[in-house]
């Protein structure tokens, strides 16, 4: 597919490259399958998502596709492209997972085939990427983003076990102590 669209300036051509492989693969799995639903679960975990994303970005065809798509969308601000890229990923993954679930349960699906699902996703994501950008005023931006997001998991530290050099506290006495004994520290 990538061979056919190299040099294209059409967003829809570039969108089809990352969209079509998932539904095409799911069509080959048969019924029931859990692949798409499992993939959604994996992508909700920050650590696993980072691993999957890093692995995917090592593949030259995906990098070339993202570069080609970026060339077509170079008029969009980088932050908007990133936001819409996140939305597109969610749309692909959840649409595939919902269709997979419906097929496994034997309920109706929105699209009659995985190929039609890929076409609908390509249309929707192309529209999402080409939608106009609403300008934000600096005052509104300051209210909605009071501080930069904190990275995860670098800001979360695991609890360390107690230091062996610190002796455990002795168990408290079960008998009541007088005020004088309390002040003197007697047990």
Which pLDDT score is estimated for 182? 45
pLDDT one-digit tens code per residue, 13-40? 989 998 999 999 999 998 899 999 999 9
Let me know if 130 is exposed, middle or buried by CB neighbors in 10 A (0-12, 13-18, 19+).
middle
pLDDT band of residue 176 (cuts 50, 70, 90) is: very low
pLDDT one-digit tens code per residue, 143-173? 565 555 544 444 444 455 555 555 555 555 5
Which pLDDT score is estimated for 154? 42
Instruction: Say what the pTM is.
Output: 0.69
Is residue 180 over pLDDT 60?
Answer: no
Which pLDDT score is estimated for 145? 59
pLDDT one-digit tens code per residue, 64-117? 888 888 888 888 888 898 899 999 999 999 999 999 999 999 999 988 999 999
CB 68 within 8 A of CB 5: yes
């Amino acid at each position: 597919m990538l061979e056919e669209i190299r040099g294209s300036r059409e967003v829809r051509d570039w969108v089809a490259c990352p969209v079509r492989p998932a539904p095409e693969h799911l069509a080959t799995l048969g019924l029931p399958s859990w692949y798409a639903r499992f993939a959604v679960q994996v992508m909700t975990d920050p650590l696993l998502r980072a691993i999957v994303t890093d692995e995917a970005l090592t593949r030259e065809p995906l990098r070339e596709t993202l570069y080609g798509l970026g060339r077509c969308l170079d008029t969009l601000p980088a932050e908007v492209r990133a936001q819409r890229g996140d939305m597109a990923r969610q749309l692909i993954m959840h649409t595939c997972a919902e269709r997979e679930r419906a097929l496994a349960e034997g309920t109706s699906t929105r699209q009659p085939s995985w190929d039609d699902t890929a076409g609908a996703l390509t249309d929707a994501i192309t529209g999402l990427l080409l939608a106009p950008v609403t300008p934000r005023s600096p005052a509104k931006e300051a209210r909605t983003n009071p501080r930069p997001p904190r990275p995860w998991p670098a800001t979360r530290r695991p609890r360390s076990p107690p230091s062996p050099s610190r002796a455990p506290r002795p168990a408290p006495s079960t008998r009541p102590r007088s005020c004088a004994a309390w002040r003197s520290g007697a047990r």
